[in-house]
């Protein structure tokens, strides 16, 4: 009779532990999925701009012009190599870096900056990975600015 009462409630405790582990696992999976989405959502477009800026910073302007989608033998219709050199061949006191990224539905706006030069707003189309100058430094579409939201709540740099 004593062994019967010693096991009383053990099955309920086991069931509660299993349910707790499942709930914690599902919540952790959701948090990881959201974090991965936010981190990797604009990743290919940022890599394209990072490669372009690396070429500019190393003064490999012809390679950077090819990254832009043009070549010296087949220049872009509205952006020839001379104009490209006037825009990007300027001497700056620090390397070009990504200042901010804003993802739109069809393209990603990436603002780049270097000391001694003004902010440049570039864009990369999501479907074709074609680079160009962005129409504005931020997306003009209606969207939720989650970074600004969390920055206002939690502060930070």
Identify whether residues 66 and 95 lie together within a single domain.
Answer: yes
Q: For residues 100 and 113, state if they share a domain.
A: yes
* Domain span including residue 32: 11-38
For residue 155, what pLDDT is reported? 74
| Residues 108 and 84 placed together within one structural domain of the fold | yes
Closest to 89 (Cα-Cα) out of 65, 123, 72: 65
Whether residue 57 sits in one domain with residue 92: yes
How far apart CA 140 and CA 10 sit, in angstroms, is: 59
Asked if 45 and 104 count as a contact pair (C-beta separation under 8 A), the reply is no
Rounded average pLDDT per 10-residue block, the chain, 157 residues: 68 92 97 89 93 93 90 83 86 86 88 88 92 86 68 72
Residues 24 and 57 in one domain: no
Is 133 part of any domain? yes
Classify residue 58: in a domain, yes or no: yes
Tell me what pLDDT residue 111 has: 93
Dump the DSSP string for 43-92: HHHHHHHHHHHHHHHTT-HHHHHHHHT--SSS-BTTB-HHHHHHHH-S--
Q: Residue 145 falls within a domain, yes or no?
A: yes
**CA distance linking residue 98 with residue 51, whole number of Å:** 11
Looking at residue 63, what is its pLDDT? 92
Identify whether 4 is part of a domain.
no
Whether 92 is covered by a domain: the verdict is yes
What is the distance between the alpha carbons of residues 121 and 134, in angstroms, rounded to a whole number? Answer: 5
Closest by CA to 136, choosing from 114, 104, 113, is: 104
Alpha carbons 41 and 103: distance in angstroms, whole number: 8
pLDDT at 26: 97
- Asked whether the beta carbons of 32 and 51 are under 8 A apart, the reply is no
pLDDT of residue 25: 97
Residues 23 and 92 in one domain: no
Give me the pLDDT at residue 37, please: 87
The pLDDT, as a whole number, for residue 8 is 75
Are 15 and 65 found together in one domain?
A: no
Output helix, strand, coil percentages for the chain, rounded to the nearest 5: 50, 15, 35
- pLDDT at residue number 40: 87
């Amino acid at each position: 009779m004593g062994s019967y009462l010693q096991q009383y409630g053990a099955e309920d405790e086991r069931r509660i532990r299993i349910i707790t582990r499942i709930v914690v696992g599902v919540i952790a999976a959701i948090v990881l999925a959201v974090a991965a989405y936010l981190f990797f959502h604009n990743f290919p477009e940022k890599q394209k701009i990072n490669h372009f800026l690396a070429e500019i910073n190393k003064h490999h302007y012809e390679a950077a012009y090819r990254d832009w989608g043009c070549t010296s033998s087949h220049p872009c219709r509205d952006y020839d190599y001379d104009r490209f050199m006037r825009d990007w061949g300027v001497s700056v006191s620090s390397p070009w870096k990504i200042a901010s990224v804003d993802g739109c539905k069809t393209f990603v706006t990436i603002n780049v900056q270097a000391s001694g030069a003004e902010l440049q707003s570039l864009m990369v189309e999501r479907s074709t990975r074609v680079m160009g100058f962005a129409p504005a430094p931020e997306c003009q579409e209606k969207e939720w600015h989650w970074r600004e939201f969390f920055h206002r709540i939690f502060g930070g740099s």
